[in-house]
């Protein structure tokens, strides 16, 4: 049987050093030495690997003559680990109260996902590099079965609520939905093909996320992949209030996808105040009086209020609508409109196939398409405007504050982006609903820790990991004793560590 040293690139961009044992062409085993993030670390790990190949250990001679003088002799580097990073993240996990979930395997899965999102099997390697005793893959799979049965998500949500309301009442909650896809062609009762946020045709699930106004997660819910966005809002909010009756009155902020007369009526009857984005196609009708008197002349930042009747019959209600005009938005909208006009003209000239072009109109069957200039004119009048529907009176919240509260919605969008990119929430490889729920709970907890780390430091979680992971603590055996040698910490990394440990 032969053995050799090899380098392997990891998902985090590091270089892993391994000893591979082969008999013929069959790999008999692999010893993972460690992962390096720079040339010096790589050279050290390769030297350790070569020493082990010769049935020895990596030796650092502090003083070649020490043995002759009765000194301490040689020092042996047993291992290196990113304990500083692990301890910092673990401290936040505990500060958030997530130790209410008494499951060390779950903790390992959450923190391991923040450092390097990967499979349950490969998480064993990630934890080993961090210097943490890792549970086995079998233990991780058993942990997934405990997550739903043990009510882990409920315990985490309560801890998140306590953190979000530690200094003040909640007041405002942000809500949005996204989709997570599966790399499988088969649908089932949960995984359905639906309207994909990523324009995919794979089976997917719909995820509803509720956060505070900073984007810190409060609750997450799983729905069928073809569930309409408007059908997710009420169950999430009523479930949240049932779990946290002490939350008091909450203003719910959601995007225009949640705007329906039935949804708003249900929100109001459930006792919620709301600010919901309005579809801009309504602007020419809502602002008809202003447009007739002033055309589309607005001051930058100007707000205009009107009333719109929504619903029919006994369910109809007059809703307050606030519009704001911004020059930066106007410039962006006009550029987009001009691009769409060019595409519509190309279709009308037969130079471009007819698809879902906004400004194209078919007048008669088999007639050539034409540009809908009336629609173009309405779009130009609405350029720069954005609308917001609310049931909060102007005496309680004026137009500018309505707009300001809605603009916080970008925070929940940032949380979704973090969950999908930094935490690799998708694609999902689980098949059973409980396993998918468990995966979502792990991502939810990792998102909370990441958001708290960012709030404490003002630095992205990705940069935190990349800054601290290369700082390796060495375990050295010398004179029959084993000691821990901390790394030299640069000033910028020390500031990060201080902020992570110190909180707000």
Q: Do 149 and 210 fall into the same domain?
A: yes
pLDDT class of 57 with cuts at 50, 70, 90: very low
Residues 140 and 106 placed together within one structural domain of the fold: yes
Residue 389 clears pLDDT 90, i.e. is over it: yes
The pLDDT score that the predictor gives to residue 33 is 75
Instruction: Find the DSSP H helices in 171-260.
Output: 233-243
Burial-class residue 176 by CB neighbours within 10 Å (0-12, 13-18, 19+): buried
Q: Is residue 184 predicted with pLDDT exceeding 80?
A: no
Asked if residue 261 lies in contact with residue 184, where contact means CB atoms within 8 angstroms, the answer is: no
Identify whether residues 161 and 233 lie together within a single domain: yes
Do the beta carbons of residue 120 and residue 137 sit within 8 Å? yes
Tell me: pLDDT of 44 over 80.
no
Q: Go through 460-477 and write b for each residue having 16 or more CB atoms within 10 A of its CB, e for each that does not.
A: ebeebbebbbbbbbbbbe
On whether residue 282 sits in a domain, the answer given is no
Please check the confidence at residue 120 and state whether its pLDDT lies above 80.
no
* Whether 32 and 164 share a structural domain: no
Task: Please tell me whether residues 55 and 151 are part of one structural domain.
Answer: no
At 446, list the tokens. 């990792």
Q: Name the packing angle between helices 83-95 and 433-457 (round to 10°).
A: 100
Within-domain flag for 294:
no
Domain shared by 440 and 467, yes or no: yes
Looking at the structure, tell me whether residues 98 and 63 fall in a common domain: no
pLDDT at 376: 92
Beta bridge partners of 310: 317
Phi and psi for 2 in degrees, rounded to 5?
Answer: -110, 155
**Share of residues in the chain with pLDDT > 90 (%):** 40
Mean pLDDT of all residues in 168-180: 88
pLDDT of 18 reads 82
Q: pLDDT value at position 152?
A: 96
- Answer yes or no: do 108 and 191 share one domain: yes
* Planar angle of CA 182, 452, 213, nearest 5 degrees: 80
In a domain, 271, yes or no: no
Tell whether 213 is covered by a domain: yes
Q: Do residues 54 and 100 share a domain?
A: no
CA separation for the pair 236, 254 (Å, rounded): 12
- Given a cut of 70, whether residue 198 has pLDDT beyond it is no
What is the total count of domains within the chain? Answer: 2
Tell me how far apart the alpha carbons of residues 335 and 126 are, in angstroms, rounded to a whole number.
47
Question: Does a structural domain hold residue 335?
Answer: no
- Are both 164 and 210 inside the same structural domain? yes
Taking the complete model, does pTM exceed 0.75, yes or no? Answer: yes
Let me know if residue 70 belongs to a domain: yes
Residue 399 resides in a domain: no
Distance between CA atoms of residues 98 and 96, nearest Å: 6
User: Where is pLDDT greater, at 238 or 362?
Assistant: 238
Of residues 445 and 263, more confidently modeled: 445
Tens of pLDDT along 421-442?
A: 666 555 666 667 888 899 899 9
Is a pLDDT exceeding 70 seen at residue 72? no
Residues 57 and 201 in one domain: no
Lowest-confidence pick of 55-59, 175-179, 180-184, 397-401: 55-59
The DSSP output letter for 428 is B
Q: CB pairs under 8 A, 24+ apart, for 356-359?
A: none
The answer to whether residues 121 and 188 belong to one domain is yes
Q: Is 248 left (phi over 0), alpha (psi -120 to 50) or beta?
A: left
Domain that holds residue 13: 2-83+475-502
For strands 473-478 and 15-23, give the pairing: unpaired
- The answer to whether the CB of 281 falls within 8 A of the CB of 228 is no
Residues 6+ apart with CB under 8 A from 451: 214, 215, 216, 217, 415, 418
With respect to residue 422, please indicate whether it lies within any of the assigned structural domains: no
Decide which of 74 and 432 is more confident.
432
Q: Is 475:81 a contact under the CB 8 Å cutoff?
A: yes
Average pLDDT value for residue range 66-88: 71
Residue 68 DSSP class = T
């Amino acid at each position: 049987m032969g053995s050799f040293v090899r380098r392997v690139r990891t998902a985090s961009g590091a270089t892993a050093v391994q000893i591979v044992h082969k008999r013929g062409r069959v790999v008999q085993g692999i010893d993972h030495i460690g992962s390096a993030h720079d040339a010096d670390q790589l050279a050290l790990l390769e030297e350790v690997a070569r020493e082990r190949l010769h049935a020895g250990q990596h030796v650092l001679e502090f003083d070649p003559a020490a043995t002759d003088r009765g000194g301490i002799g040689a020092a042996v580097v047993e291992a290196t680990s990113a304990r500083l990073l692990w301890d910092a993240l673990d401290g936040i996990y505990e500060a958030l109260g997530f130790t209410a979930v008494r499951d060390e395997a779950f903790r390992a899965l959450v923190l391991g996902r923040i450092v390097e999102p990967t499979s349950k099997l490969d998480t064993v390697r990630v934890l080993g590099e961090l210097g943490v005793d890792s549970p086995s893959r079998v233990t991780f799979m058993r942990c997934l079965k405990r997550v739903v049965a043990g009510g882990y998500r409920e315990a985490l949500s309560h801890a998140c609520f306590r953190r979000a309301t530690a200094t003040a009442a909640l007041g405002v909650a942000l809500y949005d939905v996204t989709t997570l896809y599966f790399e499988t062609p088969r649908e089932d009762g949960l995984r359905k093909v639906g309207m994909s946020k990523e324009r995919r045709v794979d089976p997917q699930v719909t995820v509803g996320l509720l956060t505070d106004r900073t984007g810190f997660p409060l609750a997450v819910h799983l729905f069928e992949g073809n569930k309409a966005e408007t059908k997710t809002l009420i169950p999430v909010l009523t479930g949240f209030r049932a779990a946290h009756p002490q939350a008091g009155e909450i203003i719910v902020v959601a995007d225009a996808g949640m705007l329906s007369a039935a949804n708003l009526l249900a929100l109001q009857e459930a006792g919620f105040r709301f600010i919901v984005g309005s579809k801009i196609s309504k602007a020419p009708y809502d602002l008809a009086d202003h447009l007739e008197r002033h055309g589309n002349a607005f001051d930058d930042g100007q707000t205009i209020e009107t009333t719109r009747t929504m619903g029919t019959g006994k369910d109809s209600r007059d809703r307050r609508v606030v519009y704001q005009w911004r020059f930066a938005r106007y410039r962006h909208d006009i550029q987009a409109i001009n691009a769409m006009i060019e595409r519509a003209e190309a279709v009308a000239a037969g130079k471009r196939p007819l698809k879902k072009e906004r400004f194209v109109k078919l007048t008669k069957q088999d007639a050539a398409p034409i540009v809908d200039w009336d629609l173009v004119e309405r779009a130009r009048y609405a350029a720069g405007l954005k609308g917001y529907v609310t049931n909060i009176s102007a005496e309680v919240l004026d137009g500018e504050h309505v707009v300001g509260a809605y603009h916080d919605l970008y925070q929940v969008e940032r949380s979704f982006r973090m969950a999908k990119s930094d935490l690799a929430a998708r694609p999902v490889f689980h098949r059973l609903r409980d396993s998918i729920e468990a995966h979502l709970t792990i991502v939810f907890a990792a998102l909370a820790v990441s958001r708290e780390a960012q709030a404490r430091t003002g630095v992205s979680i990705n940069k935190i990991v990349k800054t601290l992971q290369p700082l390796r603590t060495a375990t050295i055996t010398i004179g029959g004793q084993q000691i821990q040698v901390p790394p030299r910490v640069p000033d910028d990394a020390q500031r990060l560590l201080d902020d992570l440990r110190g909180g707000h």
